[in-house]
Amino acid sequence: MSTMNFHLRLWKQKCASDKGEFIKIHATEIPSECSFLEMLDIVNNRLTREGKEPVSFASDCREGICGTCHMVINGVPQGPGRGAACQVYMRKFENGQPITVEPFRVGAFPIVKDLVVNRSAYDRIIRSGGFISEHTGGAPDASTSLIPKPVADAAMDAAACIGCGACAAACPNSSPMLFVGAKVTHLGLLPQGQAERKSRARNMVRTMQEEGFGNCSNYYACEAVCPANVPASVIAMLNREYIRGEVSEAIGAID
């Protein structure tokens, strides 16, 4: 088992109001098979043994599907390569490479501690429109609603979003439009999402603005880092859906 050494620069910040600073750690004898989060675990264990406070970071499933882990590794939200930060492996780095780990820098995601930010703003966006109304009771047959394959595929591509916040973190404007677009596309394309379709984009965009997120400048940095490969065409769909909803509301059109 080969081991590697890294020059780490990790962000330490006590709370949202604390100024925060980088701490430098020379991480030695890191097994090359380690994932990035396991490397941080090793570093934190050593810090704890030395009587120092470990660096807080968020993680849950560690298999790239839950969207809990969030950090910016060398300027890339969720780190190099596809997948969330938990899918980054130390063998992707050069031995002795300096690695900077920062929290997401998004005004609407206040820092809780160190690398952990509070992404509840995304939950509030979902609450304002990222849902469907459905009957309770027995589940209908899967084939009750006919959905053309390309539509189902496009909806599934958008539904892949894990809500991790990397899009807003990557965007120079801190815009979450890839996330909002993914939800609007996913629900708007399917028959189950039609009841709220007109109001969905309007409500989600309004919440997005109230939370203090920025606006899309079509930079496509979000698409470049998205761990779920959500395409930026969902933003085009959001733009379309929003104007449709807003114009229908303004002129009093039902359909």
Partner 1 sequence: MTRPATPSKATKKSCACCIPLLSSPIGRKWIVALTGIALILFVIGHLLGNLSIFAGPDAMNAYAAFLKSTGELLWVVRIVLLTCVALHIWFTITLWRENLAARPQKYAEKNDLGITVYARLMRISGLTVLAFVLYHLAQFTWEAFNPEYKTWVDVQGRYDVYRMVVTAFSCPFVSAFYVLAVGLLGMHLSHGIASLFQTLGLTTEKLRPVFEKGGLIIAWIIFLGFASIPTAVLLHLVKLPSSLPTCPFCQ
Task: Kindly list the residues in this chain that would bind partner 1 in the complex (CB under 8 A).
Answer: 9, 15-16, 22, 72, 74-76, 100, 102, 105-110, 112-113, 118, 120-121, 170, 172-175, 202, 205-206, 208-221, 224-225, 231-233, 235-243, 246, 249-250
In the bound complex, what is the minimum distance in angstroms from residue 184's beta carbon to partner 1? Answer: 11
In the bound complex, what is the minimum distance in angstroms from residue 73's beta carbon to partner 1? Answer: 9
251 token code pair: 């002129």
Nearer to partner 1 by Cβ, of 113 and 198: the residue is: 113
Cβ-proximal residues to 76 (8 Å cutoff; 6+ apart), any chain: 170, 225
Taking alpha carbons only, the member of 238, 242, 230, 243 closest to residue 67 is 230
Nearer to partner 1 by Cβ, of 195 and 243: the residue is: 243
163 token code pair: 């809500």
Cβ-proximal residues to 51 (8 Å cutoff; 6+ apart), any chain: none
How far is Cα 160 from Cα 34, in angstroms, rounded to an integer?
A: 26
Taking alpha carbons only, the member of 130, 118, 112, 156 closest to residue 208 is 130
Q: Is 124 helix (H, G, I), strand (E, B) or coil?
A: helix
Nearer to partner 1 by Cβ, of 159 and 225: the residue is: 225
**Strand ranges of the sheet holding 76-77, from the earlier edge strand across to the other edge:** 21-31, 3-12, 98-102, 72-73, 76-77
What is the DSSP pairing of strand 3-12 with strand 21-31?
antiparallel
In the bound complex, what is the minimum distance in angstroms from residue 18's beta carbon to partner 1? Answer: 12
In the bound complex, what is the minimum distance in angstroms from residue 170's beta carbon to partner 1? Answer: 5
In the bound complex, what is the minimum distance in angstroms from residue 100's beta carbon to partner 1? Answer: 4
Nearer to partner 1 by Cβ, of 31 and 41: the residue is: 41
Nearer to partner 1 by Cβ, of 31 and 233: the residue is: 233
Q: Give the chain's end-to-end CA distance (angstroms, integer).
A: 64
In the bound complex, what is the minimum distance in angstroms from residue 137's beta carbon to partner 1? Answer: 36
Nearer to partner 1 by Cβ, of 32 and 100: the residue is: 100
